[in-house]
Amino acid sequence: MIVQGIKGFIIPLIIAFFIGSTGGGIGIFTLIIIPVIILFSLGYSFLYWWTYRYYVKDNELYIRQGIIIKKNRYIQRRRVQSFDKSAGILQRPFGLVRVKIETAGGGSEPDVDIDALTVQEANRLKRELMKKMDVPEETEQSQAELNVHSENEEHVEGEDVHQDALEEESTEVVDAEEEWTEAEPDDRWVLGNKRLFIAGMTSGGVGLVLSAVIAIVSQFDVLLPETFYESTVGYALSLTTTLIALFVVLIALIAYLISIGITIVKYGQFSVDKRGNDLIVSRGLLEKKQLTLKVHRITAVRYVSTILRQPFGYTTIYVESKGGGNAEEQQSTMLIPLVKRKEVDEVLRRFLPEFVFDEGITLTKLPKRARIRYWIRAILPTFFVTLPLTYFFPPFGALSFLIVIPALWIGHLRYRHAGHYVTDDRLVMQWRLFNLNRVIVPKRRIQAADVVQSPIQRFRKLSTFSVSILSSISGKSFEVLDLSENDGFDLKDWFSKQQQQNKNEEESIVD
């Protein structure tokens, strides 16, 4: 907790420094506020650490925390969905890690967040949460049956509870001194240095880096004298257009190199290990992270091909699971950061065989009458730019209407790449905004399916089909716009058969 406190007051110190330096030097404000922030942060962190308690007993994780307001939490071990372990720059010199634990029904933040544990203690806690539960087999079976209800969501949850019980019965309790991370995995996938560099080159993070650089530079204006601005502006006006262009290109190149470096640091030493029913995703050069997911908790697999990666045949694989997602990846979990599309089947066959699907399948495409709707949706946003430019900057502002041409092309790509494919037990959906997305969802993982028709869609005999699955927070939906009316209702009937099958299985269990 002390380490976290040190990390927490770095930013306030920087702010205080700049505020106190606006008068031309380090003033009395800075000299007072810095010690106060340091003492308060260290004191609060120490008290929080001193009062934090946790232990595992009777198949429950008990947590007591808080300085003034005490908070007690009880988490059943079988409800744990993911175990995330990371070590930041400030934690690694002290041999500490940060542990995040997510459970079913958790929110956008992890249910348990312990900032500083030793590696040995983190591994011990993980083993405690994964080892065999001390309850009879009959109790486990009855608990699994109690979780089977009339809704499809609860039906799948019952399967997961039973799977957890089977897994726990087969899990051996290892010696407390043994490092869990040193166990030999059943299978391993590693992102090589070549593909790590390609991932950096095609990450598309240049815009974010430029924005960050501009934001940082803009904060230094109060520290620079006015004579600096006068000389800088005068020098810039004396440059030729060619030199200005070269200067802009140089800045863009530096931002590009920085974005590559950020990707290499973030995803360096990336690996995926499979141990029994667990997938362990590890990554990071400076801040090491390790996330453990249950295979049977994964509800969907999604491929995302960015515009820069599509021409080279590369894609990124994400998984949707009941626990394990984060806001940085839109509540999903990145399983493979970069892989050839033709290699996806092989990777899934090794780690997630339930989601294997032939890349060469022929999707059911959208009807031709849907094309104009995709064009219109792509063109309309451009009017928010072209109309003001045309009005305020005549006559050259009218040239802005040229962006309608690439907008039409994007609309055409969205129409051409959208579609679906269905088998008895799985559904494939594909769409694009700018990036190309494809999702594979097992039929039994779908919680709800909807067919929506607006008045115009009914007139054009079109429909929008969407499915909902369980995900990290509460759920996630995927949809394909403007399917033919018949295709939309056929997909709904396909899902309704699964609901009837689940109902029959529930009735047989009750009997």
What pLDDT does 360 receive?
A: 73
Determine the structural domain holding residue 247 and report its residue range: 193-267
Mean per-residue pLDDT, 5-13 = 53
Indicate whether 29 and 155 sit together in one domain.
no
Indicate whether 284 and 390 sit together in one domain.
no
Is pLDDT larger for residue 62 or for residue 5? 62
Three-state DSSP at 335 gives strand
- Domain boundary residue, one of 242, 267, 292: 267
Cα 194 from chain centroid (whole Å): 24
pLDDT, averaged across the chain = 78
For residues 176, 180, 183 and 187, what is the CA-based torsion angle, rounded to 10 degrees?
150
To 10 degrees, what angle do helices 137-146 and 152-170 make? 160
Total structural domains within the chain: 5
Indicate whether 47 and 57 sit together in one domain.
no
Indicate whether 178 and 323 sit together in one domain.
no
Give the C-alpha separation, 101 to 123, whole Å: 13
Residue 189 has, within 13 A of its CA and on its CB side, a CA count of 21
Based on the number of CB atoms within 10 Å of its own CB, is 464 exposed (0-12), middle (13-18) or buried (19 or more)?
middle
Lowest mean pLDDT among 209-213, 306-310, 319-323, 333-337: 209-213
pLDDT 10s digits, 232-281: 666 666 666 777 778 778 888 888 888 899 999 999 999 999 988 889 99
Among 107, 194, 89, smallest CA distance to 98 is for 89
Q: Is-contact 433 451, C-beta < 8 A?
A: no
Indicate whether 401 and 359 sit together in one domain.
no
Give every CB contact of residue 363 below 8 A, 6+ residues apart in sequence.
419, 420, 421, 428, 430
What pLDDT does 147 receive?
A: 40
Indicate whether 306 and 249 sit together in one domain.
no
Indicate whether 281 and 259 sit together in one domain.
no
Indicate whether 24 and 173 sit together in one domain.
no
Indicate whether 432 and 374 sit together in one domain.
no
How far lies 184's CA from each of 179, 187, 292, in Å?
Answer: 11, 9, 15
Q: Which pTM was predicted?
A: 0.73
For residues 315, 86, 280 and 111, what is the CA-based torsion angle, rounded to 10 degrees?
-100
What pLDDT does 44 receive?
A: 82
CB atoms closer than 10 angstroms to residue 45: 21
pLDDT 10s digits, 11-53: 555 555 554 544 445 555 566 777 777 788 788 878 888 888 8
Among 488, 500, 501, 481, smallest CA distance to 450 is for 488
- Domain boundary residue, one of 185, 207, 230: 185
Give the C-alpha separation, 496 to 438, whole Å: 23
pLDDT band per the 50, 70, 90 thresholds, residue 197: very high
Q: What is the CATH number of the domain that holds 64?
A: 2.30.29
Indicate whether 381 and 286 sit together in one domain.
no
Indicate whether 303 and 445 sit together in one domain.
yes
Give every CB contact of residue 52 below 8 A, 6+ residues apart in sequence.
1, 64, 65, 114
In 317-370, which ranges are continuous DSSP H helix? 344-351
- Domain boundary residue, one of 33, 51, 69: 51
The amino acid at 413: L
What pLDDT does 377 receive?
A: 95
Based on the number of CB atoms within 10 Å of its own CB, is 217 exposed (0-12), middle (13-18) or buried (19 or more)?
exposed
pLDDT band per the 50, 70, 90 thresholds, residue 149: very low
Indicate whether 256 and 387 sit together in one domain.
no
Beta strands in 66-176 (DSSP E): 71-76, 80-87, 96-103, 112-118
SS3 sequence of 80-105: EEEEEEEECCCCHHHCEEEEEEEECC
pLDDT band per the 50, 70, 90 thresholds, residue 404: very high
Q: Tokens standing for 188?
A: 């391993």
Bond before 395 cis per omega within 30 degrees: yes
